Copies of this chain bind each other. A is one copy, B any other.
């Protein structure tokens, strides 16, 4: 009895990604031991062709972005990666070379981040390709970072640089000029999950999340969870050279940087007494962190001070799919 094409695809492309507990992807489920004294951390994110990535994006970066946006959720909780499950609804007629490239990207990032495929499902769709990934990690119970915990007076910190992903999307769409080094497009296609930073700051910061839907909107989540407001000082926003050059040429891009999404940096609340420790722990994992404002008493609202000190009006709160 010959196996149908679905199983051949799984054997050829996905089985090499499988690791311990996956039962070679040939069973109904994976079976895993969670190390004693640690909690399971689990999240799921979906990506749809034409919505979350561009049809022309290289398949390797699509796979890597799918894995990385999920890893970013682990980073936000202070967790370490354990493994992942993935369901792929592939557009009918997709060339197998696309799948091979997609899987090669996943394989590269599996090595980089130290996790393996545990299971999933592969099917076809008459619509655009739809991908879903469930990420598993573990954390020490006392060191879970959650969104609740920011207090008035706390500093607002972000890792890395803000706005590159949103600018990179416009570069790829042709509405903004590309930087020579290709930094912005790369940041859109290949976010950097801040796993080491999240684990280093776990137990120290009071609240945290990753910035995926835009800095202002996501900071609003920390405000609602903490029962306080927040003020961002736009002059303190950490920008890449490429983003800084575009903003210098067109100051009207500032709201896009603040609300555009696809940053996948960590957004954190910390006691001002811990400033030196936050910076030191970040430096120990090779990361820059910037203080961009503070939490304040009051309603759960985010206001932004423009570089000239005036209040900045923002056209929209962030990205929504509906």
Residues of A bordering B, CB below 8 Å: 1-7, 9, 23, 26-34, 36, 39-46, 48, 50-52, 72-74, 76-77, 79, 85-89, 118-128, 130, 132, 134-137, 139, 141, 144, 146-147, 209-210, 216-217, 220-221, 225, 300-302, 317-322
Q: Cβ of A6: which chain B residues have Cβ within 8 Å of it?
A: 320-322
- How far is the CB of A231 from the nearest CB of chain B, in Å? 13
Q: Top 5 closest A-B pairs, CB basis?
A: A127-B127, A4-B320, A29-B43, A132-B132, A5-B322
Q: Which residue of B lies closest to A219 (CB)?
A: B1
Query: Are A119 and B317 CB-contacts (below 8 A) given A28-B77, A134-B85, A146-B23?
Result: no
Query: Are A30 and B52 CB-contacts (below 8 A) given A127-B130, A130-B130?
Result: no
* Cβ-neighbour of A44 out of B120, B146, B317, B321 (below 8 A): B120
Q: Cβ of A45: which chain B residues have Cβ within 8 Å of it?
A: 87, 121
* Cβ contact within 8 Å between B321 and A122: yes
Q: Bound complex: CA of A241 vs CA of B206, how far in Å? A: 62
* Cβ contact within 8 Å between A89 and B30: no
* Cβ contact within 8 Å between A32 and B43: no
- How far is the CB of A34 from the nearest CB of chain B, in Å? 5
Query: Are A31 and B77 CB-contacts (below 8 A) given A86-B44, A225-B26, A317-B3?
Result: yes
Q: Which residue of B lies closest to A207 (CB)?
A: B27
* Cβ contact within 8 Å between B77 and A29: yes
Please name 25 pairs of A and B residues whose Cβ atoms are closer than 8 Å in the assembled complex, sorted by A. Answer: A1-B216, A1-B302, A4-B318, A4-B319, A26-B225, A27-B77, A28-B73, A28-B210, A29-B74, A33-B39, A33-B40, A42-B134, A44-B87, A44-B120, A44-B134, A46-B87, A46-B132, A48-B127, A50-B126, A51-B124, A51-B125, A89-B132, A124-B321, A124-B322, A127-B128
* Cβ contact within 8 Å between B124 and A127: no
* Cβ contact within 8 Å between B119 and A125: no
The winner among A119, A134, A146, A216 for most chain B CB atoms within 10 A is A134
Q: Bound complex: CA of A128 vs CA of B126, how far in Å? A: 7
Query: Are A89 and B130 CB-contacts (below 8 A) given A7-B320, A147-B27, A321-B122?
Result: yes
* Cβ contact within 8 Å between A125 and B123: no
Interface contacts beyond A1-B317, A3-B317, A48-B89: sample of 20 additional A-B pairs, CB < 8 Å, sorted by A: A4-B318, A4-B320, A5-B322, A27-B77, A27-B209, A28-B43, A29-B74, A29-B76, A29-B77, A29-B79, A29-B135, A30-B43, A40-B40, A42-B136, A44-B119, A44-B134, A48-B130, A121-B132, A127-B128, A132-B132
- How far is the CB of A287 from the nearest CB of chain B, in Å? 18
Q: Cβ of A317: which chain B residues have Cβ within 8 Å of it?
A: 1-4
- How far is the CB of A89 from the nearest CB of chain B, in Å? 5
Q: Cβ of A46: which chain B residues have Cβ within 8 Å of it?
A: 87-89, 121, 123, 132
